[in-house]
Amino acid sequence: MSVLVIILAGIVSTFVMIVFLELVTRTKLANADMVRAIGSIVTGSYDRSLVPGLIIQFGFGIVFSFVYFGVLSYFNSSIGLNGVLGGGLMGLFHGIVVGFVGVVTVAEHHPLERFRQTGFTVAAAHVFGHVVYGLSVGIIFNATNIRIFV
């Protein structure tokens, strides 16, 4: 049962992050369409990028949910760190890695011109998107009281 809850936490938190990044993209604050960017790396086409992008994004979201639950379990038992705060901090770290390293690397080698244009706003959107993901996982972690790897 715990495994299913962690999988569901990954799905829900990834969905929340995708919605956040979609809002950033639609308001034209930044081109933060991570789903299409990732999907078009695989397909080489924007038009065929949605389904592969969603599969990849949700797949990684589920995997990282297990990582987050494991780290949160450890820090919750060792120092009593609140899951929401811990999730937000993990999301910040995760977002910095993805936002600054990943965006630059992807932008340099992306097959589509629309995703080669990056900058601080794109990286910042991904940082905040991952914070949203981490906060969502942290909320579910606190609500379920599931602890792993401890």
The residue with greater pLDDT, 77 or 43, is 43
Which residues are CB-neighbours of 15 under 8 A, at least 6 positions away? none
Residue ranges per structural domain of the chain: 2-144
**Poorest-pLDDT segment among 23-32, 36-45, 81-90, 115-124:** 115-124
Whether the pLDDT of residue 123 is over 70: the answer is yes
Q: Per the confidence metrics, is the pTM higher than 0.75?
A: yes
Give the pLDDT score at 8: 97
Residue 112 and residue 115: Cα distance in Å, rounded? 6
Average pLDDT over residues 88-104: 87
